[in-house]
Structure 1
Amino acid sequence: MKRMLKLLVVVASMAMMLSLFACGEAPQEEKTEALPPQAEAPEEAAKTVKAGFVYVSPVGDAGYSYSHDLGRKAVDALDFTETAFVESVPEGADSERVIRNMARKGFNVIFTTSFGYMDPTMKVAKEFPDVAFMHCSGFKKAENVSNYFGRIYQSRYLTGLVAGAMTKSNKLGYVAAFPIPEVIRGINAFAIGAREMNPDAEVRVVWTKTWYDPALEKDAAKSLLDAGCDVITQHQDSPAAQEAAQEAGAYSIGYNSDMASFAPKAHLTSAIWNWGPAYVKTVEQIKNGTWKGNQSAWWSMADGVVDIAPMGPMVPEDVKEIVLAHKAKLVAGDDTIFAGPLKNQNGEVVVTEGAVIPDGDLLGMTWFVEGVIGTTE
């Protein structure tokens, strides 16, 4: 009996030792497996970039805000980003409120995409020095504010070549938003291209004083069609001018995105934006800590930010070849669109032969070139 009791004691002791040994090993294995994720978690969190976008018009309008939102989607597709946007935000007090709300919610970078957001952006930026702000098309900067735009005038010039070749009446209509340098510069580039192809072409401008008002845009286009214009282009956010041209049996040239689907019988091409590369580059800089304020970026066709849509089947092949040859030069960095000699609309030489308008003057352009009918007010 004692012998059996001893045996039971030995067995029990061995079982207890095995149990203690097993209990001692398990935490070591669990600790080894658990440490890497625990060490990586803060690093992964630090890599997340929250990017906010403020739009002046609806994203579904196929226009300016639509093109910016395509760029936002390119950012959102990255594995280290979160994005959000607010659309149809009026310039002024409303935009200031929206921008401030984004900053309060912890966005790392906020893209304010309309010219009239400039002062609200600057005001909010002072309150949130740790937030990066990117303002589109403006000129004011700060330690945490940079501005950016694209050389869309290059695309305007190419579409002007198409318009000059396609007009029969020599009258081209331009439905334009506001008489600011951005818009005036585009009108001038369009006119230069048109008159290279057709020296008798003239560009008639109607101001709407709005970025987005489809009914008003369409009425403006109709007034130009009634005046004999047989090609209508635009600096507006909706395809209304395209639709007006098709209804009148005229040609049209879109803006911001490829608007062929809205007026397939009229649409010659469009001057288009491709914000994706620029926005992706910016958020990568935010992530890497290399982004800087007090900067100005003016991206070109060589950077892939501006382009033209495919030309329609009604455009002759020889015209397409000429346009694509000029595009190839711009992609290669050869930009002489605003090279002299250039006259203003009064016939006065303002850029002499051999001279090129510097970027600073282009950014502040307030006068029309020869061939443009309209005022800059």
Structure 2
Amino acid sequence: MEELKKGMSLKAGFVYVGPIEDFGWTMAHDRGRMKVAEKYDWLETVYAEIVPEPEVSDYIDEMFEKGCDVVFTCSFGYGWDTVKAGERWPDKILYHCSGDPTVHGSAPNVGFYFSDFYQLYYLNGLAAGALTKTNKLGYVAAYTTSEVVRHLDAFFLGAKEVNPDVEMKVLVTGSWVDPATDTLNAEALIAWGADVIGFTADAPAVISKCQDHYEETGEKIYTFSHYSCMKEFGPDVVVSGQLVNWEKWYEYLLLKAQQGEAENWQHWGLATGGYVELGSDFGEPINPIFTEDLKAVTVTDPVLGTIGVYDLIMYRYEQFKDERSTFEPFTGPIRDTEGNLRLKSGEVIDGYQLWWEMDWYPEGTIPPE
């Protein structure tokens, strides 16, 4: 990175797959961008939104041609084109949000970062297992990438810990940003009998459907915020959620870039360090209207004894925030939907499998067709 001089001013570009007002994934990234830009007077930022994956190379080139020193590509499908751009622009820095083990380290000026929610999905699964009346959970998945499967598996494992009788049906949208299909999938899951729905999607369509159903019928379909605060779309049905603080990565990586440094490896952020946050809103781990309901349901934990689910959620959350804790939701025995023993009793999942090879579902899941 010969053109980057230590202590220089920087111009950073951000390429987004969705609109900045999607109230989810892209809004969260743009919130992080703005927070860092407001903090440092040496930093100028620009962005492009609603960029189709096949066109990302053109946007990267245009940003560098217009003076950007660093470009962040903020979607899973941008990965390989980001690496190829690093080869075309050896004196610039690129970071891809998500990563792929097949491309790690392939260019000295291309790095990878992600803030992962699987721990928070497990916590929200505890709530789901406690609140369901039908013992049927639904999940709307954008795709079945390792990331998404990791999240929905963790959600279901949490639910089963509290309520062994639950089952979960998964429907796939086939897009990160498709509110219409998200809504149709939520409707189908409600018709099937689900009274709790988790999701991986970049917009709050699932939450809006759950709130609409409650207002029309009086029946609550519990759900959870994802990436950004979505409580305003479902004040009566949003229990908690998975929230992200992307500014943690943007500040760290841009400060490195200002010193002329690129870190060409995978960076992971979890609850430790505050990269992700449990909450129906920032600073609100559980929607207060559900606190008493969660406290009323008790479970027997082998270590903690009899404990209310609300307190169990908060205890586990503190464990996840403590880097010394060894608690892991993916600890055996765990069987998959085919009855195969994936993790024997006491066995903790291998990190590589957890991050990159999640293609199986715990027993009790109805996988997507």
Whole-Å Cα distance in 2 between the matches of residues 190 and 243 of structure 1?
A: 20
1:298 paired with 2:263, answer: no
1:136 paired with 2:97, answer: yes
- Counterpart in 2 of 1:325? 315
Whole-Å Cα distance in 2 between the matches of residues 269 and 87 of structure 1?
A: 28
- Are the aligned partners of 1:246 and 1:252 in contact in 2 as well (CA < 8 Å)? no
- Counterpart in 1 of 2:358? 365
- Counterpart in 2 of 1:349? 341
- Are the aligned partners of 2:199 and 2:206 in contact in 1 as well (CA < 8 Å)? yes
1:288 paired with 2:281, answer: no
Whole-Å Cα distance in 2 between the matches of residues 289 and 359 of structure 1?
A: 31
Whole-Å Cα distance in 1 between the matches of residues 185 and 156 of structure 2?
A: 19
Whole-Å Cα distance in 2 between the matches of residues 228 and 358 of structure 1?
A: 35
Q: Are the structure 2 counterparts of residues 301 and 129 from structure 1 closer, same or farther at C-alpha, using a change threshold of 3 Å?
A: same
Superimposed CA distance per residue, residues 308-348 of structure 1 (whole angstroms, 9 cap, x where no aligned partner): 11312124244322211110000003241111211112222
- How far off is 1:352 after superposition? 1.2
Q: Which moved more, 1:125-134 or 1:329-338?
A: 329-338
- Counterpart in 2 of 1:272? 243
- How far off is 1:297 after superposition? 0.8
1:185 paired with 2:178, answer: no
- Are the aligned partners of 2:115 and 2:276 in contact in 1 as well (CA < 8 Å)? yes
Structure 1 unaligned regions, length at least 5:
1-42
3-state DSSP of counterpart to 1:238: coil
- Amino acid paired to 1:109: V
Superimposed CA distance per residue, residues 253-297 of structure 1 (whole angstroms, 9 cap, x where no aligned partner): 12111211111011111111111111101101111234322x111
- Amino acid paired to 1:152: F
Whole-Å Cα distance in 1 between the matches of residues 290 and 148 of structure 2?
A: 27
- Counterpart in 1 of 2:77? 116
Whole-Å Cα distance in 2 between the matches of residues 204 and 97 of structure 1?
A: 39
Whole-Å Cα distance in 1 between the matches of residues 260 and 56 of structure 2?
A: 27
- Counterpart in 1 of 2:53? 91
Q: Are the structure 2 counterparts of residues 45 and 305 from structure 1 closer, same or farther at C-alpha, using a change threshold of 3 Å?
A: closer
Whole-Å Cα distance in 2 between the matches of residues 262 and 124 of structure 1?
A: 39
* Larger helix proportion of the pair: 1
Of 231, 244, 266, which aligns to 2:196?
231
Correspondences of 1:16-95 after superposition (within 5 Å): 47-77=8-38, 78-92=40-54, 94-95=55-56
Whole-Å Cα distance in 2 between the matches of residues 326 and 97 of structure 1?
A: 44
Q: Which moved more, 1:56-65 or 1:46-55?
A: 46-55
- Are the aligned partners of 2:138 and 2:196 in contact in 1 as well (CA < 8 Å)? yes
3-state DSSP of counterpart to 1:83: strand
3-state DSSP of counterpart to 1:60: coil
Correspondences of 1:215-254 after superposition (within 5 Å): 215-249=180-214, 250-254=221-225
Superimposed CA distance per residue, residues 217-237 of structure 1 (whole angstroms, 9 cap, x where no aligned partner): 111100000000001121001
Count, aligned residues: 332
- Amino acid paired to 2:268: W
- Amino acid paired to 1:304: G
- Amino acid paired to 2:225: G
- How far off is 1:354 after superposition? 2.3
- Amino acid paired to 1:306: V
Provide the TM-score with structure 1 as the length reference: 0.85
- Are the aligned partners of 1:231 and 1:253 in contact in 2 as well (CA < 8 Å)? no
Following TM superposition, the consecutive aligned residue runs of length 4 or more in structure 1 with deviations greater than 4 angstroms are 43-46
3-state DSSP of counterpart to 1:61: coil
3-state DSSP of counterpart to 2:236: coil
- How far off is 1:45 after superposition? 10
Q: Are the structure 2 counterparts of residues 46 and 208 from structure 1 closer, same or farther at C-alpha, using a change threshold of 3 Å?
A: same
3-state DSSP of counterpart to 2:67: coil
- Are the aligned partners of 1:166 and 1:315 in contact in 2 as well (CA < 8 Å)? no
- How far off is 1:154 after superposition? 1.0
Percent same amino acid among aligned pairs? 36
Superimposed CA distance per residue, residues 185-209 of structure 1 (whole angstroms, 9 cap, x where no aligned partner): 0011101111111111122100000
Whole-Å Cα distance in 2 between the matches of residues 95 and 263 of structure 1?
A: 34
Whole-Å Cα distance in 2 between the matches of residues 345 and 163 of structure 1?
A: 20
Of 61, 65, 68, which aligns to 1:100?
61
- Counterpart in 1 of 2:328? 336
- How far off is 1:44 after superposition? 10
Larger-Rg structure: 1
Q: Are the structure 2 counterparts of residues 167 and 44 from structure 1 closer, same or farther at C-alpha, using a change threshold of 3 Å?
A: same
Whole-Å Cα distance in 1 between the matches of residues 5 and 64 of structure 2?
A: 22
Structure 2 unaligned regions, length at least 5:
215-220, 296-307
3-state DSSP of counterpart to 1:258: coil
Correspondences of 1:206-217 after superposition (within 5 Å): 206-217=171-182
Whole-Å Cα distance in 2 between the matches of residues 195 and 188 of structure 1?
A: 10
